[in-house]
Chains A and B, each alone.
Chain A
Amino acid sequence: MHSIDTELAVDATGVARRFGARWVLRGASLTLRTGEAAGLVGANGSGKSTLLRILCTLLRPTAGTARIFGADVVQDPDLVRASIGFFSPIPGVYDDLTARENLLFAATMLGRPKRTADETLERVGLTHVSNERVRGFSSGMLRRLALARLLVHSPRLLLLDEPYNNFDVSGIALVNELIRETLARGGAALVVVHDVASAVPVVGPWFTLRDGIVVPSSGIPLGIPSPTPALAMASAGGTR
């Protein structure tokens, strides 16, 4: 087991991932220091979500290594999971439980006091529906509930996959507030976005994932790059 490195939040080197014959990542490297909120952009299918899922231990890399605060995502997944919070486009809540029950469950699983569930519901603006089953919630409300789960956790590293989707203005502000709070605690955030404008107030530096490799952007990315035609053919053919 590795000791926790307080300086490097993410240290990924040569991360590659193949699905069948198709290489999605071809040696992506990325370093993120504590106090940084990095933005990651790229075309659809460029591997942004795959990289996040590798960093949060949901997928194993085919090649390469990745460390979160010094802990290897393959060798020490428990240590990694204790320090990260992953926000996915799918809310992942239980339809037949109420909003409060969903958060109480999350609080128990995370070893947090139960009162944090009520405090967090108030913060995300769901107190008025806290005892209703989430089956009837709108997609925005479901996303708020998923965000509340992240607030209950209050992790050192945020891995956010399209965090602004389905949010109104106050929801977007809530996401940015969460990022600021995490940075203020000495944490870090890696944010995958298409909606660059919403992230600009809190995110930087920026990286672009293209052809399976992460490259630093010189400034705020204005357009989402497309994969090169040669690479698209190579991906389909299975060469890395």
Chain B
Amino acid sequence: MALRDEWHRARAVAWKDLTAERRSKAGFNAVAALAVTILVLFGFALGPDSEAIRAAAPGALWLAALFAGVLAFNRSYQMELDGGALEPLLMYPGARRALFAGKLMANFVFVLLLLVIVIATSLVLFQVAVPPTWPALLIVVLLGAVGLVTLGTFYAAMASRSRAREVLLPLLLFPMLVPVLLAAIQATKALLVGGAMNDAGAWTSLLVAYDVIFLILTFLAFDYVIEA
């Protein structure tokens, strides 16, 4: 019963965030534009060597998603702070992990949409063909997004209490994301531009392990970081 209530509350938070985001539009458009710009800049930086471009594609697409994602994570709490809505949100009875779950779901949808744009742009810009192992690639993208969103949503909650939240979030988040990014990039590389399937399997397993660990830890610690 309590779990069902928490699920309803988490779903309400996600619906509220996504509805507000859909209505404002400016947020997603700006974040997607930033991601595409980063990819184009990578293309310029790598020069005309098509092999080098193809080899760098997995790293470029995940870094573009990371940099653009940071803006999205910040926005998700900025929405609460702008209208003074964070306090009423924290005042609702029930476990606060439902709030975290709701924010997580909304950010997950947001980052997945972002990744669709980033991957489509990467395939064109970096001249990479859709691999026959695309279902495995899809799983890697989903797992990478879970890791990115879990840590991003958690550290954005922590930074939301600080005046320097825009600077603080990347400082806290980037070092913690290194293992997730490394695993996601290597698994994507193995599937997208060649390499043994075993490599992808090992990196994917690592990604699953990181996701599970970070999900458990962030849910346990959320109550403490959101406190005033």
Contact indicator per residue, chain A 83-113, by CB within 8 Å of chain B (1) or not (0): 0101010111111110001000110111100
Query: How many angstroms between the C-alpha atoms of A91 and B88 in the bound complex?
Result: 9
In which size bucket is the chain B interface? 20 to 34
24 contacting pairs across A/B (C-beta < 8 A): A78-B93, A78-B94, A81-B91, A81-B94, A82-B93, A88-B87, A90-B84, A91-B83, A92-B83, A92-B85, A92-B88, A93-B83, A94-B16, A94-B20, A95-B83, A96-B24, A97-B16, A97-B19, A97-B20, A97-B23, A105-B12, A109-B13, A110-B93, A111-B5
Q: Nearest chain-B residue to A155 (Cβ)? A: B93
Evaluate contact between B84 and A92: CB separation under 8 angstroms: yes
Query: How many angstroms between the C-alpha atoms of A110 and B93 in the bound complex?
Result: 7
Return chain B residues, CB-CB under 8 Å to A22: none
Apart from A91-B83, A92-B86, A111-B94, list 16 A-B contacts with CB within 8 A: A57-B91, A58-B87, A82-B93, A88-B84, A92-B89, A93-B83, A93-B85, A94-B16, A94-B79, A96-B20, A108-B8, A109-B9, A109-B89, A110-B92, A110-B93, A133-B23
Residue total for A at the interface (Cβ-Cβ under 8 A): 28
Nearest CB of A to B21, in Å = 8
User: A151: CB under 8 A from chain B?
Assistant: no
Return chain B residues, CB-CB under 8 Å to A143: none
Q: Nearest chain-A residue to B102 (Cβ)? A: A109
Query: How many angstroms between the C-alpha atoms of A78 and B83 in the bound complex?
Result: 24
Query: How many angstroms between the C-alpha atoms of A106 and B8 in the bound complex?
Result: 12
User: B228: CB under 8 A from chain A?
Assistant: yes
Return chain B residues, CB-CB under 8 Å to A88: 84, 87-88
User: A149: CB under 8 A from chain B?
Assistant: yes
Return chain A residues, CB-CB under 8 Å to B5: 111
Q: Nearest chain-B residue to A102 (Cβ)? A: B16
Q: Which B positions have Cβ atoms within 8 angstroms of A? A: 5, 8-9, 12-13, 15-16, 19-20, 23-24, 79, 82-95, 227-228
Return chain B residues, CB-CB under 8 Å to A78: 93-95
Nearest CB of B to A187, in Å = 16
Query: How many angstroms between the C-alpha atoms of A59 and B85 in the bound complex?
Result: 16
Return chain A residues, CB-CB under 8 Å to B86: 92
Evaluate contact between A109 and B20: CB separation under 8 angstroms: no
Contact indicator per residue, chain A 113-153, by CB within 8 Å of chain B (1) or not (0): 00000000000000000000100000000000000010000
Evaluate contact between A96 and B82: CB separation under 8 angstroms: no
Return chain A residues, CB-CB under 8 Å to B9: 108-109
Return chain A residues, CB-CB under 8 Å to B89: 92, 109
Evaluate contact between B23 and A92: CB separation under 8 angstroms: no
Would A58 and B228 be within 8 Å (CB), given that A78-B95, A92-B83, A101-B19 are in contact? Answer: yes
Return chain A residues, CB-CB under 8 Å to B95: 78
